Structures are given as C-alpha cells and as structure tokens.
Amino acid sequence: MDIIKAVEADYLKESAPKLSIGDYVRVSFKVIEGTRERIQIFEGTVIGMQGEGLKESFTVRRISYGVGVERVFPLHSPKVDKVEVVRHGKVRRAKLYYLRGRVGKAAKVTEKL
C-alpha cells in the first residue's frame, strides 16, 4: 500500500486548496475545442466530495437559467487549472443532495463567519 501512495505522491498537486462541503467555489478548467485550448470557469456550491489521494473528486452545483447543473471535477487533474474558494459555507451534512429539490433562496447555503 505504501508503494502505491509513494507513486501517487508524484502526481498530487501541492496547490490544491482546502475544500469543504458547502463552499462556494470558482473552478477554472481547460477545454480543448479542435486545435484550440481555452480556460472555462464554473462557479457553484460544493455539494459532495468523494475519494482520497489521487482519486479525490468533488461535485459542484449551480443554477443556470433556471436549470440545475452539476459537474464532477477530479481535484488533482491536469485539466483543472485552479480552484478558488469564494466563501465558506456553514453546513451540518456530508452531502448536500437536498439542494437538488430546492430553488431560489431556499437553495442557498449560509456563510460561515
């Protein structure tokens, strides 16, 4: 097991931020369209985290034109350029799947002071 963790340590990002559930984040990731590459930004609330080490990923949810959009990002992927925490949320759950059934102000997470 230690051999696997030693090999994975070479691929882990040191610049990965300390994320937690309920945080409002801005994820910049690289999108390849044909021969061109650009950075696209996805903003939203972290509703879940899964995995550990190199396999760690997080799910971000936002409302776009009245439709809920969720995306799963691998935390240590080279396609993820950077992850900025805009504000920390105050939650008491490990997964915020209950936000899927809510709209408007009811879908907001209170800010941690």
47-70: pLDDT as tens digits: 999 998 888 999 999 998 988 999
93-113 pLDDT per residue, tens: 999 999 999 888 888 899 888
Q: What's the pTM? A: 0.87
Order the strands of the 80-87 sheet from edge to edge: 67-74, 57-64, 36-50, 24-33, 80-87
Give the domains, in start order, of the chain with CATH numbers: 2-101 (2.30.30.790)
